[in-house]
Amino acid sequence: MGRWIVLRDSCGDGFWLPFYAKNAKSVIGIEPDPTLWQDAIIHTKAVPNIEILHGSAEHIPSPLKANSVDIVHARWAYFFGEGAEKGLAAVMNILKPGGVFIAIDNSWRSGDFAKLLKASTGGNSDYSPDPTDRWWKENGVTRIEISNAGWSTKNASELASILSIEFPKPVVDSFLNHHEGAYLSYAIALFVIRKS
C-alpha cells in the first residue's frame, strides 16, 4: 500500500505507527507538541518506513506536497468541526486523487462510553453531536457509525480502574452504580471522504 499520514490530534508518542507501517510503503506521523514529537522519533526509530514531522492538520509540514499521500488517518479527531476548515483543506490538498481521509472519533450518539463523555463535559450533559455531524456533511464527508464495539474486562473492579484513567471519579462512581458487569458498550464515528 502507499503513503499514510497519521494526524490523530497528533501522532502522539508514535505508539500506533509501527502497526500501520506493516501495511504501508511509508508512514508519516505529524505531531505538534515538541516533547511528544521527540518521543515519537525515539519510539519509531527502529522502523525504517516511518518518518515523524513537526506540524498539525492546519500546518502540514512542507516536505508533504500536494497530491502526494494515499491515506490520511486522524484518530480521535475531536479537533475537526466548525472552525477547522483550514485543517480539512490542508489535508485534502496533500491527498492524491482517489486518496482517502478517515477521521475516527468517539460517537456521542450511543453506547455506555457516550454516556460517560456527556457526564464528563463540565456538566454539559446536553451536548449535541449534531453541529459536528452537520459540519462534516457540509464538507462532503460521509459519517459511518460503528455501534457494536465495546470493552470487556476481567471484572467490574478492573473496568472501574480503566474508566478512572479517562473520567473523573464521581462520574465513574455514578456510572458504575447503575451498570452491571465488566463490559462497556462503545460506538465509533468514522468520517470518510475520497478525493475525486
Confidence of residue 7 (pLDDT cuts 50, 70, 90): low
Give the predicted TM-score (pTM) of the model.
0.84
Structural domains counted in the chain? 1
Say if 94 falls within a structural domain.
Answer: yes
* Owning domain of residue 16: 1-106
In a domain, 176, yes or no: no
Provide the CB-side half-sphere exposure for 172 (13 A, CA).
14
CA distance 59 to 24: 23
The confidence band for 75, taking pLDDT boundaries of 50, 70 and 90, is confident
The pLDDT tens digits for 85-115 are 998 999 999 999 999 999 988 898 899 999 9
Kind and range of the H or E run holding 156: helix 156-166
Mean of pLDDT values over 36-58: 93
* Grid cell locating 168: 473523573
Length of the chain: 196
Backbone dihedral angles phi then psi of residue 97, each to the nearest 5 degrees: -55, 130
Q: What's the pLDDT at 8?
A: 47
- What b-and-e string marks burial along 80-116, b requiring 16 or more CB atoms within 10 Å of the CB? bbeebeebbebbbebbeeebebbbbbbbbeebbbbbb
CB 54 within 8 A of CB 29: no
Location of C-alpha cell 486522524: 74
pLDDT tens figures, 115-157: 998 888 764 455 678 888 999 999 999 999 999 899 899 999 9
On whether residue 55 sits in a domain, the answer given is: yes
The domain spanning residue 5 has which CATH number?
3.40.50.150
Domain membership flag for residue 31: yes
Q: Is 185 inside any structural domain?
A: no
Distance CA 114, CA 56 (A): 27
Residue 192 in any domain: the answer is: no
In a domain, 65, yes or no: yes
- Percent over 70 (pLDDT), the chain: 90
Within a domain: 98: yes
Q: Which tens digit of pLDDT belongs to each residue from 21-35?
A: 998 889 999 998 999
Q: What pLDDT score was predicted for residue 1?
A: 59
